[in-house]
Amino acid sequence: MKKTTDISTIAFSDQTKIEVQVLYDIVSNPETIGEVIGTVSRDMFTSERRRSIWDAAVRMFNAGEVIDFVSIAVIAPAYTPDVILQQPEASGPLQTLRHAKILRDTAARRRTYAAAYELMQKAIDSSKTEVDMLSAAEHCKSVIENGSPLVYETELQQAFNNYADDLQEMEIRKNEGRMVRITTGFPNLDYALQHGWGPGQLIILAARPSVGKTAVMLQMARAAAAAGAIPNIYSIEMTENELSGRMLYSTGMVDPFDISALRIDWEKLEAGIRSFDKSRILMNDKTRDLDGLVSRILINAQRKQCDVAFIDYLGLIRADGYGNEKLYQTIGRITGTMKVTAKQAKIPIVLLCQLNRESAKGGRAPELYDLRDSGSIEQDADIVLMLENKDDGGINMWVRKNRQGRRDFAVVLSPNGTYSNFTDQGIIDDK
């Protein structure tokens, strides 16, 4: 039987010692816990018992309660056997902060070792492709960061300077002929969103199945491309052939019913294809995992080959490698990662997702609480759009969240005969 190596213990023999020391320090020097919280997080502790002690100390601090050896032992009974009886060293405030930094660095080395080991295993696997390697490298980076950034405050004047730098960069983009804000393809929606999507925004486009979210997404991508942007479409649900077919149907030159019956008018088909000659749209139906999506978006944005990314859809994104997460935790990690990616790439990301059945069953317009599986979808998004089927076959596109302006109104969309192109018919307010 092949012996496996527990890489969490290699070269980290002092891990338990430093964890115990930090837990002892924050009770010995409770005035330092506010600073320690900015450096240490619960997942830096390798034992669930030590995590529970840390959680108890943080809760007491947040509640303004007195933290001493007696009170912490009452709230966290493991403190006495797991900390006091281990005989840690007496420390002052400066040593406490130094120990917190050592714990953080040690935890980072442990995560780095584990992630690098996994990356090396994939590197020697002949079945893995270049895309797999990029995905693995992105996963390695996210594991090392582990969602525990150091807390840094920014002076207001520095924030003003950063804001001016961003404006200057957008001015350069404009002078280079690149898009600054991305049109949605719907004039009334553009107006409400201050001329379209902005850099760093996460946009949620939600609907029940078969309401038309993919068709609306494709029209948004076509409009962005027609205005000179380069959209990237990541489809986990549909193939590139299906997407390109839908693109052709939207021109009105190709009938999907004729295509399905193989009654092909090649002249009209070629005319439809030519209508996209000046548009650059990149499609990807192969990348299905979170790390792969992130790496592709960041790489293409750096190469100036991605001005806006569309992902269809949230519920199908694979996000492995984080243990026994609950579904809502996985969804939250995906939306949080996508928001961070939008900010890093300085592009808008439009993420499709499904609504629950309640709004359709109740015969009402969808609300934010109809988002499936996680409140983090609403929390992480800058803009939330929700599609509602109308009795006449049209669609109301509700703006339920908009950080920068008006919300709780709908853009009325009228479809063409193949439900592949929509006309903006105006706005209605929520009643």
Q: In CATH, what number is assigned to the domain containing residue 271?
A: 3.40.50.300
Q: Are 216 and 282 found together in one domain?
A: yes
Q: Are 299 and 405 found together in one domain?
A: yes
The answer to whether residue 5 is domain-embedded is no
Q: Are 119 and 262 found together in one domain?
A: no
The answer to whether residue 317 is domain-embedded is yes
Per-residue pLDDT of the chain (431 residues; tens, 9 = 90+): 444 444 444 445 578 899 999 999 999 998 888 888 878 888 889 889 999 999 899 888 877 788 999 999 999 999 999 999 998 999 898 999 999 999 988 888 888 888 888 888 888 888 887 777 777 777 677 666 654 555 556 677 887 787 788 788 778 877 877 667 899 999 999 998 988 999 999 999 999 988 989 999 999 999 999 998 999 999 998 999 999 998 888 888 888 888 888 898 899 899 989 989 888 999 999 888 888 888 889 888 888 899 999 999 898 998 876 556 788 888 888 998 899 899 988 899 999 999 887 776 777 889 998 887 667 888 899 999 999 988 888 899 999 999 888 889 999 999 988 888 899 999 998 76
The last residue of one of the domains, among 62, 96, 128, is 128
The answer to whether residue 151 is domain-embedded is no
The answer to whether residue 305 is domain-embedded is yes
Domain that holds residue 308: 178-429
Q: Are 124 and 235 found together in one domain?
A: no
Total count of domains within the chain? 2
Say if residue 313 is preceded by a cis peptide, omega within 30 of 0. Answer: yes
The answer to whether residue 320 is domain-embedded is yes
Q: Are 106 and 249 found together in one domain?
A: no
Q: Are 183 and 48 found together in one domain?
A: no
Query: From the centroid of its chain, how far is CA 421?
Result: 28
Structure tokens at 228: 């000179």
The answer to whether residue 100 is domain-embedded is yes
Q: Are 370 and 250 found together in one domain?
A: yes
Q: What torsion, rounded to 10 degrees, do the Cα atoms 232, 235, 239, 243 define?
A: -60
The last residue of one of the domains, among 112, 128, 144, is 128
Q: Are 118 and 221 found together in one domain?
A: no
The answer to whether residue 1 is domain-embedded is no
Structure tokens at 122: 């994939």
Q: In CATH, what number is assigned to the domain containing residue 84?
A: 1.10.860.10
Q: Are 188 and 124 found together in one domain?
A: no
Q: Are 351 and 283 found together in one domain?
A: yes
Q: Are 218 and 120 found together in one domain?
A: no
Q: Are 188 and 87 found together in one domain?
A: no
The answer to whether residue 26 is domain-embedded is yes
